[in-house]
Amino acid sequence: MGYKTAFLCHSHRDRTLVEGLIQIFKEEGVLLYVDWMDSEMPETTNGDTARQIKNKIRESEMFLFLATPNSLASRWCPWEIGYADGVKQHERILVIPTREHGQNYGNEYIDIYRRLERADDGQLAAWYPRTHSNGTYARSL
């Protein structure tokens, strides 16, 4: 089976969470694109950074937003999800909520996207906010 690809929108302050997600998603058959792991990214953030991020978002099959207080307060993350919203089908944009921080912190717009969480059987599945039925398993996205 080939791997699916996903752009991971996150705050660099959440590096430890990201490192764990890389392994979890690999086990689910999804390769995450993480900008700080890309040797072709400029060392200093500039216009080329934005252009490369736009390209990676377009090239990836899915867009995943790691919703933490850091990412919701970031200058880059809202821009990235806004760009993804314009170039991706909504079914391809998923929010990964963090259990200890289940708030939107003034960023209610993320409620229009499905959330990716563990189902009762332990598999990753996507649901719209405030629902836990009629979800879709991550492997079939």
Report the CATH fold assignment for 4-140: Rossmann fold (3.40.50)
Condensed to tens digits (0 to 9), the pLDDT of residues 67-88 reads 999 998 999 999 999 999 999 9
Mean pLDDT, residues 13-20 taken together: 96
Confidence of residue 92 (pLDDT cuts 50, 70, 90): very high
Three-class HEC string of 4-65: EEEEEECCHHHHHHHHHHHHHHHHCCEEEECHHHCCCCCCCCCHHHHHHHHHHHHHCCEEEE
In the chain, where the domains are located: 4-140
Classify burial at 80, counting beta carbons within 10 Å of its beta carbon; exposed 0-12, middle 13-18, buried 19 or more.
Answer: buried
* Bigger pLDDT: 110 vs 26: 26
- pTM, rounded to two decimals: 0.86
